[in-house]
Structure 1
Amino acid sequence: MTVSTPAEFFSTLAALRDALGADAVRVGEQIGERSMTDWTRHEPTRAAALLLPRTTEQVSQALAICHAAHQPVVPQGGMTGLAGGAIPRAADIALSLERMTGVEEIDPASATMTVLAGTTLQTAQEAAAQAGFELALDLGARGSCQIGGNLATNAGGNRVIQSGTARDQVLGLEVVLANGAVLSSLGKMVKNNTGYDLKHWFIGSEGTLGVITRAVLRLHPQRAARHTALVALNNYDAAVSLLRRLSTRFGNDIGAFEIMWPDFYDFGVALTGARSPFAEAHPLYALIEHASFDAADDGERFAAALAEALDTQVIRDAVIAQSVADARALWAVRECTAEFPVRLDPINFDVSLPIGEIGTFVERCRAALDRQWPGNESYFFGHIGDSNLHLTVDGRSLPGIDHHAVYAFVYEMLGPLHGSVSAEHGIGLLKREFLPISRSPEELAAMAAIRQALDPHGILNPGKLF
């Protein structure tokens, strides 16, 4: 990629203003802090310009101009990422989808929703609910994250064991390629076996292959009854046993199975200001959601299953929410991660391993961290049912230690287990040097070839992923 001269950049800026309108092109102090970094709180950088297109046509025009000028462009969504994937460099132009919002159609016959990429996940969820459906994707940042960003990073969230990741919610996509060409594949069919399924190239590509502008999402029947329980366990093996027992009994009516080790659980309880519902501390906790299609399901079957697990000593104790408020209070403990960026100096890990290995990995990782940096404050938690473990180390408890050293230390332990350095947050800026731990040279070469084919000038989100 060549670097443009100031004169060339100002010429590009003038062309963008002519195409998009002056109000859609911001520079200097007009660019707010929101566009400068994400939830990683990585070093904020003000881009050379910020574009705010309102339509796919404007995105197309903007990319065509930038492509011709070899001008780097960084697509941005809700800026809730945890891998630095949307953070610009000073010479980049940021392209925000925040003005491209709205649910354009809900098709009851095909059970689909057509939505613009800048729409927040919560807005899409609420529109689906009003139409009598459910959008299965759910995560703690629902009020801020955007559909385009969810798809670009293949977001996971709380209900993957029930409905899959973001990828599994998509039937069609509209994407603008680096040269401005619009790739429109907004089909509503579940079966469409006509060559390469191109949408999957862009889902999880982190904005390096194209800019997602519109999506057709699957909708599901509403779960009429939800029951939430917080369970105390002796150890990780007991958690896996309970998950298998409940899955055998209820199938995919088990919508969430969130594991919290005591370090994380105690932090969440303290943050919410509530008291733990348990009289004593326990080695492990699981937050479980049972979601039934039967409106008459009063939770007795779920309670009976937990009672049996208690009788057979698979679990130590259990508390079942008796109201929506109770359930929200239990979930508030698990979703305390939203406060990590302001309460901690978070060094975040989002890894995946075979489910049977996770408990052992946590024990080894915690012991290794304690040997390397005595007194460190670390928090372990995860979705587990979909093999996803999260770890956050508070950088404040490691004075003088660079974050990079902690990343390298933990990922080195992950390598022998053939796990993934990113389960659901992508690679972005922060994990790119560790990608070879999880991907072979041949896989990386294939990905690079795809990128070269779709973005020969390398203008889309440069420095990310690769």
Structure 2
Amino acid sequence: MDALLREIAAVVGPGNIMTGEDVAQRRVDWMTGAPCRAGAIVRPADTAELAAVMRLCHVANQPVVTHGGLTGLVHGGEASPEELVMSLERMTAIEEMDPVGGTITVQAGVPLQRVQEAADDHDLHFPLDLGARGSCTIGGNISTNAGGVRVIRYGMMRQQVLGLEAVLADGTVISSMNRMLKNNAGYDLKQLFIGSEGTLGVVTRAVLKLQPRMASEKTALVSCPSFEAVTGLLRHMGRTLGGGLGTFEVMWRNHYLLLTEESGRNVPPLPTDSPFYAIIESLGVDDEANTAQFGKALETAFETDLISDAVVAQSDAQRQGIWDIREDIEGLIQNLAPLFTFDISLPIPDMERYVNQLEAGLRQGWPQGRLVVFGHLGDGNLHVSVTVGSNDPEARRAVEQLVYAPLSELGGSVSAEHGIGLEKRDYLAVSRNPEEIALMHTLKRALDPKGLLNRHKILAPET
């Protein structure tokens, strides 16, 4: 590897190769704090440098792992001492803003929040939003097809990407920087890289679609007397607000109670005795009209017993206080450690039965265990947190079986928005049939015949 690193240094400069203790100080898993174990970290400045480095690695049969913001939760950034890390931390340029066409062109290492702020500066809106916005990068968002809290209105990251550029394992640059909404000229090659977690190519640049900025945003926290009321409320708000429904997030009581009254970390805007809580946001271009429509929708929900109590944020601070309860992942870690986390999706009508069965199974196996559930219910995505008092591999495997096994029959997915990585690789068959997995292997062999990119992530090694 030393000879290869000398060749790479001639491309990126000696100061942009990290080795030894500098590598070990980098944390590849923000939940566990696990250190990076790669042989070295390479920091190219642009697509040309990355392509040149990848050509050298391809000739040397050198495996490579890509790093973005390192906010992932499925061990996709893990690297062994025999692997090199390609970090895109220097590739942070916002290259072009097109307010008329409604696009922004960026390098893959730019943080999500910077894209949001750049759009705001031009009275536009980049709709992808998640709690790690300050750290996660656009390249990572693309490679995992990130979701977040606005999927119900704007869709996944896939829907925000018009064009992209990627470097293949052999250094070939695939530049498909389309800026048009309509382009049916052959295969849509960008789709090969969106959601492929760096296993088919390294995303380096992207053209993102922007939306008009909504002048009015109304946020309410409501409590619901039953899951039937929750689903009824979702239908009611969707029908009443129409395209204005921006967010519909649900917290089971176990989440709301833990992160407010029980832990003391957040002030509960509503009493903690309801079985379900929902955060609802309405977006509009006219504040007066949006306020009236939102208020009427909530009033009707009260009258039809879909909600039992509600509070509407009257300031940014109150809105943030509501969201702090939903996004307090640090609180979950502190209060439930050792913690197993899961990101699943399943049909909404099956959610209550699924969660009840999961809770019963946990109690049977671990009477001291605890289950906490919240998620983007409006798009079928639940985040499940489990503690059983142990984090040994045997306990984890048993809990994973409880969480994942029912999803196959329900037509659910073991990964709604976080990806597969290493953590969920053995469970891919729960959500994908043999023919689909075989085609994935075919694509992997075609684009990365030596198996050098993020090896063993998503797909198990072929035997």
Under a length normalisation based on structure 1, what TM-score does the superposition of the two structures give? 0.95
Determine if contact 1:73/1:92 at 8 Å carries over to the other structure: yes
Equivalent in the alignment of 1:283: 275
Equivalent in the alignment of 1:4: none
**SS in structure 1 of the partner of residue 29 of structure 2:** coil
* Aligned mate of 1:364, from 357, 364, 368: 357
Using the alignment, how far apart are the partners of 1:272 and 1:288 within structure 2? 24
* Aligned AA (1:306): L
Deviates more, 1:198-207 or 1:249-258: 249-258
Determine if contact 2:96/2:105 at 8 Å carries over to the other structure: yes
* Aligned AA (2:181): V
Using the alignment, how far apart are the partners of 1:435 and 1:76 within structure 2? 23
Equivalent in the alignment of 1:216: 207
* Aligned AA (2:206): A
* Aligned AA (2:370): E
Using the alignment, how far apart are the partners of 2:393 and 2:191 within structure 1? 42
Deviates more, 1:369-378 or 1:288-297: 288-297
1:194 deviates by 0.9
Percent of residue pairs identical: 45
* Aligned mate of 2:195, from 204, 225, 243: 204
Equivalent in the alignment of 1:322: 314
* Aligned mate of 2:28, from 24, 28, 37: 37
* Aligned mate of 1:352, from 334, 339, 345: 345
**SS in structure 1 of the partner of residue 364 of structure 2:** helix
Equivalent in the alignment of 1:234: 225
Judging changes above 3 Å, is the alpha-carbon distance between structure 1 residues 86 and 400 closer, same or farther for their aligned structure 2 residues? Answer: closer
Using the alignment, how far apart are the partners of 2:290 and 2:434 within structure 1? 53
Q: For the aligned residues, what is the CA RMSD? A: 1.6
**SS in structure 2 of the partner of residue 402 of structure 1:** helix
* Aligned mate of 1:186, from 177, 183, 188: 177
Report matched runs for 1:14-413 at 5 Å. Answer: 14-34=6-26, 36-41=27-32, 43-270=34-261, 273-279=265-271, 281-297=273-289, 299-343=291-335, 344-396=337-389, 402-413=395-406
* Aligned AA (2:17): V
Judging changes above 3 Å, is the alpha-carbon distance between structure 1 residues 272 and 334 closer, same or farther for their aligned structure 2 residues? Answer: farther
1:208 deviates by 0.2
1:58 deviates by 0.8
- Structure 1 unaligned segments of length 5 or more: list them: 1-8
* Aligned AA (1:93): L
**SS in structure 1 of the partner of residue 115 of structure 2:** helix
Matched, 1:414 2:407: yes
Using the alignment, how far apart are the partners of 1:107 and 1:382 within structure 2? 34
Provide Cα deviations, 1:244-268, integer angstroms capped at 9, x if missing partner. Answer: 1111111121111111001111122
Using the alignment, how far apart are the partners of 1:123 and 1:362 within structure 2? 37
Provide Cα deviations, 1:18-57, integer angstroms capped at 9, x if missing partner. Answer: 11110111111121533x4223427544100101111111
Judging changes above 3 Å, is the alpha-carbon distance between structure 1 residues 317 and 29 closer, same or farther for their aligned structure 2 residues? Answer: same
Under a length normalisation based on structure 2, what TM-score does the superposition of the two structures give? 0.95
Count of aligned pairs between the two proteins: 457
Using the alignment, how far apart are the partners of 1:315 and 1:335 within structure 2? 22
* Aligned AA (1:39): W
Equivalent in the alignment of 1:3: none
- Structure 2 unaligned segments of length 5 or more: list them: none
Judging changes above 3 Å, is the alpha-carbon distance between structure 1 residues 420 and 279 closer, same or farther for their aligned structure 2 residues? Answer: closer
